[in-house]
Amino acid sequence: MADTVLADGALELEPAPEPDAPFRPTPRGMAARIAVLAALLALILAVPQLVPAVYVNIVTKAAVYGLVALSLNILLGYAGQVSLGHSAFFGVGAFGAGYALTKMQLPWGAALLMAALTGAVAAVVLGAIALRLRAVYFALVTISYGFVAQETLFNIRSLTGGGAGQPAPRPSLFHTDVRYAYLCIGVLAVAMLFDWRLTASRGGRAIQALRDDERVAASWGIDVTGYKILAFVISGMMAGIAGALFASIEQVVTPADFGFALSLTFVLATVVGGAGNRWGVVQGGVLFAVLPTLIDRAHANFHIWPFTSISITLEPAVEALLLILTLIFFPGGIAQQQRNLLSWLSFKRFRQPETGGGPARGGMGARP
Which residues of the chain form contacts with another protein (CB under 8 A)?
Answer: 82, 84, 129, 132-137, 139-141, 143-145, 147-148, 150-152, 155-156, 261, 264, 267-268, 271, 311, 313-321, 323-324, 327-328, 331, 364-368
211 close to 164: Cβ distance less than 8 angstroms: no
H-helix or E-strand spanning residue 16: none
- Amino acid letter, 127: G
CB of residue 271 vs another protein: minimum separation in angstroms? Answer: 6
CB of residue 156 vs another protein: minimum separation in angstroms? Answer: 7
Q: Report the residue number, 170 or 299, with the smaller CB distance to another protein.
A: 299
CB of residue 14 vs another protein: minimum separation in angstroms? Answer: 33
The helix-helix angle for 86-102 and 224-250 (nearest 10°) equals 60
CB of residue 45 vs another protein: minimum separation in angstroms? Answer: 34
CA atoms within 13 A on the CB side of 208: 18
Distances (CA, A) of 335 to 51, 154, 242: 26, 35, 22
CB of residue 106 vs another protein: minimum separation in angstroms? Answer: 26
CB of residue 135 vs another protein: minimum separation in angstroms? Answer: 5
CB of residue 136 vs another protein: minimum separation in angstroms? Answer: 4
Integer Cα distance of 108 and 244 in angstroms: 10
Sequence-distant (≥ 6) Cβ neighbours of residue 199 within 8 angstroms: 78, 205, 208, 278
Integer Cα distance of 56 and 356 in angstroms: 41
Q: Report the residue number, 137 or 196, with the smaller CB distance to another protein.
A: 137
CB of residue 5 vs another protein: minimum separation in angstroms? Answer: 31
Burial class (CB in 10 A: 0-12, 13-18, 19+), 160: buried
Distances (CA, A) of 266 to 31, 206, 254: 36, 25, 18
251 close to 76: Cβ distance less than 8 angstroms: no
Integer Cα distance of 200 and 7 in angstroms: 29
Q: Report the residue number, 195 or 319, with the smaller CB distance to another protein.
A: 319
Q: Report the residue number, 171 or 316, with the smaller CB distance to another protein.
A: 316
3-state secondary structure 64-107: HHHHHHHHHHHHHHHHCCCCCCHHHHHHHHHHHHHHHHHCCCCC
Q: Report the residue number, 113 or 130, with the smaller CB distance to another protein.
A: 130
Integer Cα distance of 240 and 71 in angstroms: 9
Q: Report the residue number, 110 or 129, with the smaller CB distance to another protein.
A: 129
Q: Report the residue number, 112 or 126, with the smaller CB distance to another protein.
A: 126
Q: What is the DSSP letter of 354?
A: S
Category of 222 on φ-ψ map: left (φ > 0), alpha (ψ -120 to 50) or beta? beta
Q: Report the residue number, 37 or 148, with the smaller CB distance to another protein.
A: 148
Q: Report the residue number, 67 or 264, with the smaller CB distance to another protein.
A: 264
Give the chain's largest Cα–Cα span.
Answer: 69
Strand 252-253 versus strand 166-167 pairing type: antiparallel
Q: Report the residue number, 94 or 271, with the smaller CB distance to another protein.
A: 271
CB of residue 327 vs another protein: minimum separation in angstroms? Answer: 5
CB of residue 72 vs another protein: minimum separation in angstroms? Answer: 12
